[in-house]
Amino acid sequence: MKKNSRRQGKGSIKTFRFVLFIGTVATFAVILLIIILGDQQFGPVHKVILEGAGPLQKAVAQISGSVHSVKRKYIDLLTIREEKERLWKELQECRTTAYANRGAVALNARLRKLLDFKESSNQPTITAQIIGKDPSLWFRSVIIDRGGSDGVDKGMPVVTGEGIVGQVYASSSDYSKVLLAIAPSSAIDVLLQDSRIRGILKGTGKNMYLLEYILKTAEVFVGDRVVTAGYGGMFPTGLPVGIVSKVTRNRRGMFLEIEVVPAVDFRTLENLLVIEREKKMFD
């Protein structure tokens, strides 16, 4: 009896649930139909739903964006090593090119000066390159890649676009040794360009000359230009030698003590011009 009544109760609940489900579906279907077939107006209900779903959508969109960003970063991270290596290599190449370009520009400027000098002077010249430098602390000389077979001979003056460098001390068939004007054993006849006062320019072994045998009565000022005198025919007349940097008048002695800064920067010497002249008595 009890079993029968329980079975009847379960059946009525099932029926009720079925009817409720069908009714709900039918109601939604009717609402959907009304919405679709209606006047297509965005009504208050829609607005309420939009307002309610908006923050949710916004939050999800933000999360989604973050996830995408993390994913993108992760993928970037995977490829960043190769990218870094590629960029580093590119940077090195650029640096090498820039360095080479700077060197080429400097070389170009130096060669241009040499060329200008070569064209402006009416003397035949031989272009040479320094291949070795004197390592001692006592002497100052360089070895150049031109010798007797190129026309280079002992005693010939050596210059750059800026001024005098020295003279050929000895030469073999293909190479020569040049005694620099700053060598302690070097002595050149010079003139002060404006006052035409004559003196002897001595090397000191440093990047400086001493101008000797100029009487105290002479007017010499800092900034005066010193040029070759051309006496003896060793150097052509009027080649730039340097600029007076210090004048000292000592109480003792007849002569001024004059320091001259070389016109040529001996620290950056590379290319030189040997002026071809007739063999002079260098000895």
Partner 1 sequence: MLTLSFIAVGLLLVVIQTTFFMPSPLWIASPDLYYILVGYLAYNFTFLRGIVVLLPISMVLDIYSGTIIGIYPTLCYLGYFLLKFMVAKMPIRKSLYQLPLVALSYLVVNWVLLLILDFFQPQVIAGWEWFPILLRVFLIYLFSFPLFRFFTFIDKRLRGKTSSARLTRSLPGNQFRQD
Residues near partner 1 (CB under 8 A) are 130-143, 169, 177, 179-180, 182-185, 204-207, 266-269
Burial of 178 (0-12, 13-18, 19+ CB in 10 A): buried
Q: Which lies closer to partner 1 via its Cβ, residue 77 or residue 137?
A: 137
Find the shortest distance in angstroms from Cβ 159 to partner 1.
15
Smallest CA-to-CA distance from 194 within 217, 215, 218, 159 is with 218
* Contact call for residues 209 and 203 (beta carbons, < 8 A): yes
3 state DSSP class of 262: strand
3 state DSSP class of 15: helix
* Contact call for residues 196 and 181 (beta carbons, < 8 A): no
DSSP state letters, 242-257: EEEEEEE--SSSSB-E
Find the shortest distance in angstroms from Cβ 177 to partner 1.
7
Find the shortest distance in angstroms from Cβ 142 to partner 1.
6
Burial of 37 (0-12, 13-18, 19+ CB in 10 A): exposed
Find the shortest distance in angstroms from Cβ 182 to partner 1.
8
Find the shortest distance in angstroms from Cβ 176 to partner 1.
11
Distance CA 117, CA 238 (A): 13
Tell whether the torsion through CA atoms of 113, 117, 118 and 124 is positive or negative: negative
Q: Which lies closer to partner 1 via its Cβ, residue 167 or residue 224?
A: 167
Q: Which lies closer to partner 1 via its Cβ, residue 11 or residue 184?
A: 184
Distance CA 246, CA 255 (A): 14
Q: Which lies closer to partner 1 via its Cβ, residue 146 or residue 177?
A: 177
Q: Which lies closer to partner 1 via its Cβ, residue 118 or residue 140?
A: 140
Find the shortest distance in angstroms from Cβ 190 to partner 1.
17
Burial of 239 (0-12, 13-18, 19+ CB in 10 A): buried
Q: Which lies closer to partner 1 via its Cβ, residue 185 or residue 245?
A: 185
Find the shortest distance in angstroms from Cβ 204 to partner 1.
7
* Rounded (5°) CA angle 105-111-117: 140
Q: Which lies closer to partner 1 via its Cβ, residue 42 or residue 138?
A: 138
Q: Which lies closer to partner 1 via its Cβ, residue 161 or residue 203?
A: 203
Find the shortest distance in angstroms from Cβ 269 to partner 1.
6
Distance CA 209, CA 250 (A): 18
Distance CA 170, CA 236 (A): 20
